[in-house]
Chains A and B, each alone.
Chain A
Amino acid sequence: MKNFFAELINDRFMIAAVLLFGLGFMNLLLQKNLIKKIIGFNVMDSSIFLFLASQGYINGRIAPIITNGVFDAEVYINPIPSGLVLTGIVVSVSVTAFFLALTVRLYGIYKTVDFDEIMLLINKEAE
């Protein structure tokens, strides 16, 4: 049991990432307001970045910037997840901007950002 708790504390970043992912997904599913849905989507994105960054970290090692002439791989952390997080951030920003632009257009047509109301109005139009 003691071992389990030690592992729990050691893996806190990954556990926090999973919980944040769940929170964001919950937001995405249950919120009616489109802007809040997008915020939930962004929370999910951030949890993925936290997970990736935590995968790259190694205890007691430093950032991979070679200033003191040491070329040993044993000294530096894993640089690959940092690059992946960079890609993820760019894609997240782009997708968020596109979502928001679509929301602005929807608001311009239906004068509401409530998803259920928009669906009702669309159904009414179809009738």
Chain B
Amino acid sequence: MNKETNFFKRLNDWVNGEADRLFPELQETDTPKAPEPVATIGPLPNKDVLFLTSYQAVALIVVIGMVSILLYTVYKLPLFGVADNPAVNEVVERYVEKGLEETGAVNVVAGMILDYRAFDTLGESSVLLLAITSVMMLLLKDEKNTDPDEELIEAHEAVIEDHNRDMILQTMTIILMPAIMLYGIYVILNGHLSPGGGFSGGAILGAGLILFASGFGHNRVKKFFNMNTFRALTTTALLGYGILKTYSFLLGANHLPTGIPLGIPGAIFSSGLIFVLDICVGLIVACTMYGFFSVFSRGEI
């Protein structure tokens, strides 16, 4: 793009996104041209320059003022790490001392978010579903959201990609993929026993799927994970969460007996509903993570 000899100038351009490569001499000869802007913009009028300068100055003053107010607040806040802070109140005592007995989960945080505050987690899962739904509404390829030029470029790129799969990436995917998937499942199933749970385990599973998709292409993933699987998994998991939690709210929101055995604390099949809810949350998160990647990169799942 430019033959600047100064390395730092080139680095700066590269970081700012103006140059395609850090080393232009290694650049391939037939790079596709960037699309032309729809309209050219002349120099800014004087009024706008004045506005932009004053806007920057005002923004700086506002941010510095806000940060100083916040720093003063931090100075007045209780000290970090002290046990008799007002945040450490009887609610915390209750969660820690009675949590294992009432929820059956060894991990108090899991017991908290999936039992005492299960409504909150249902809301979080719904937020994820809402996010993937709105992203799909914006980006899925349909008859109103297609550009023939873009489609041609994408088809061309797909053919090139299929014939030039990265061997290092593929080999590493074959080695790492089973370990990543197993670790994700382990983190989900052990959510009530050890650090982790549905959200982190689901993110690991999604990352494994993304790695596989970037190594072997979307068409290979589509054989076992397509739009129908995605729909079925997310709706089943969210509905399952809702139904299970409705049952528990109707029968025993205040820890009245629900008839669901809590099991022996520390065993893998223990802590009643938390085990199942963790799996539901993990499925939703994994589907959403892979869905984001797939919709952003291909416009389809």
Q: B38 at interface (Cβ–Cβ under 8 A)? A: yes
Asked whether, in the complex, the Cβ of B113 is within 8 Å of the Cβ of A83, the reply is: yes
User: A97 CA to B18 CA in the complex, in Å?
Assistant: 24
Query: Is A124 in contact with chain B by the CB < 8 A criterion?
Result: yes
B63 and A26 within 8 A (CB): yes
A22 touches B66 (CB 8 A): yes
Q: Are B70 and A104 in contact (CB under 8 A)?
A: no
B73-81, B175-183, B227-235: which lies at the interface: B73-81
Interface set, chain A 71-127, CB cutoff 8 A to B: 71-74, 76, 78-83, 86-87, 89-91, 93-95, 97-98, 100-102, 104-105, 108, 110-112, 116-117, 120-121, 124
Once bound together, how far apart are the Cα atoms of A57 and B82, in whole Å?
8
Contact of B38 (CB < 8 Å), options: A10, A21, A64, A121: A121
Q: How far is the CA of A20 from the CA of B160 in the complex (A)?
A: 42
Residues on A with C-beta less than 8 A from B134 are: 98, 101
Q: Is the CB of B109 within 8 A of A26?
A: no
CB-based nearest A residue for B106: A66
How far is the CB of B194 from the nearest CB of chain A, in Å?
A: 7
If A100-B296, A104-B139, A117-B41 touch, whether A18 touches B71 (CB-CB below 8 Å) is yes
B97 touches A94 (CB 8 A): no
Number of interface residues of B (CB under 8 A): 65
Are B74 and A65 in contact (CB-based, < 8 A)?
Answer: no
What 1/0 mask marks residues of chain B from 111 to 144 whose CB sits below 8 Å from any chain A CB? Answer: 0110001001000100110111011001100000
Does A76 contact B96, Cβ atoms closer than 8 Å?
yes
Question: What is the count of residue pairs linking A and B with beta-carbon distances less than 8 angstroms?
Answer: 164
Indicate whether A39 reaches chain B with its CB closer than 8 angstroms.
Answer: no
Contacting pair A11 B41 (CB below 8 A): no
Per the bound structure, the CA–CA distance linking A30 and B100 in Å amounts to 49
- The stretch that binds A, out of B84-92, B164-172, B256-264, is B84-92
Known: A58-B88, A76-B96, A97-B292. A25 touches B66 (CB 8 A): yes
Q: How far is the CA of A74 from the CA of B209 in the complex (A)?
A: 42
Residues in chain A near residue B117, CB distance under 8 A: 83
Chain A residues positioned under 8 Å from B128 (CB to CB): 90, 93-94
Q: Are A78 and B75 in contact (CB under 8 A)?
A: no
Q: Does B108 contact A (CB under 8 A)?
A: yes
Q: Find A65's partner among B80, B82, B108 (CB 8 Å cutoff).
A: B108
Interchain CA distance A65-B111 in the complex, whole Å: 10
The 23 listed contacts between A and B (C-beta, < 8 Å) are: A18-B67, A18-B74, A22-B63, A22-B67, A25-B66, A55-B85, A55-B87, A66-B96, A66-B99, A67-B106, A79-B95, A80-B87, A80-B92, A81-B87, A83-B113, A93-B131, A94-B127, A98-B135, A101-B139, A104-B138, A108-B147, A116-B52, A124-B39
| Chain B residues packing against A (C-beta within 8 Å) | 17, 35-39, 41, 52, 56, 59-60, 62-64, 66-67, 70-71, 74-75, 77, 79-83, 85, 87-88, 91-93, 95-97, 99-100, 106-109, 112-113, 117, 120, 124, 127-128, 130-132, 134-135, 138-139, 147, 193-195, 199, 265-266, 292, 295-296
Apart from A21-B67, A83-B113, A98-B135, what are 10 other A-B pairs with CB-CB below 8 Å? A10-B79, A13-B80, A19-B67, A22-B64, A83-B112, A91-B124, A94-B127, A101-B139, A104-B296, A121-B41
Q: Would you list the 5 A-B pairs with minimal beta carbon distance, nearest first?
A: A94-B131, A64-B108, A22-B67, A59-B81, A29-B59
